[in-house]
Amino acid sequence: MRNTSPAAQVPEDNIDALIATRLLALRQGKGLSLVQLAELSGVSKAMISKVERAQSSPTAVLLGKLAAGLGVSLAQLLTEEKAQPQRLRTRASQEVWRDPEAGYLRRQIAERSAGSGVELVEVELPRSAQVGYPRWSGKPYRQCLWMLEGALRVDYGDDRFELAPGDCLDFGVDRPLVFKALGRSACRYLLVACPL
């Protein structure tokens, strides 16, 4: 697996502050109280409050639950809202976030554009790491996963798929998802998300 350039990574305290700002803005924008978001997401009110105050570094699983409860994509919690998408996004300008627990690395290659609704995300999942997400409660969208390196198992509801380099899997966010790195090494894949 390739090393990530330090210049491309957002410092951990900055990404926690960004997540805090985005979570608060999205929650308030939907008119939800902490209690209501806690009920929708299955995340405690206390934990949501800690994340909104940048007092906790959330995991991918926690962010997935919050995104599902809000009915937004994970990218909306991890990236700044831009008035105009960038035509050229150099590697150094792509937002990178690392899960503090699983070591999962997520690079936002292209943010979701208003015109097409398509976004590109590169994921590096360490050896034996597993990340699960609940079913999204908001507007559903499709994802297409293209395996680049390593081996990956994807549980899409009750369906299970094992992928090797070059394999492609098309699925939605209408069921719970679990991604697990298989084999003796990490894996890397590209996710393309688009509206239904």
Closest CA to 162 of 174, 173, 153: 153
- What stretches of 30-153 show up as alpha helix (H) in DSSP? 34-41, 45-52, 60-70, 74-78
Q: What is the DSSP string of 172-192?
A: ESSS-EEEEEESSS-EEEEEE
CATH superfamily of 91-195: Jelly Rolls (2.60.120.10)
Domain residue spans of the chain? 8-78, 91-195
pTM value is 0.78
pLDDT value for 115:
65
pLDDT in tens, 47-94: 999 999 999 889 888 998 998 899 888 888 887 766 566 778 899 988
What architecture does CATH give domain 8-78?
A: Orthogonal Bundle (1.10)
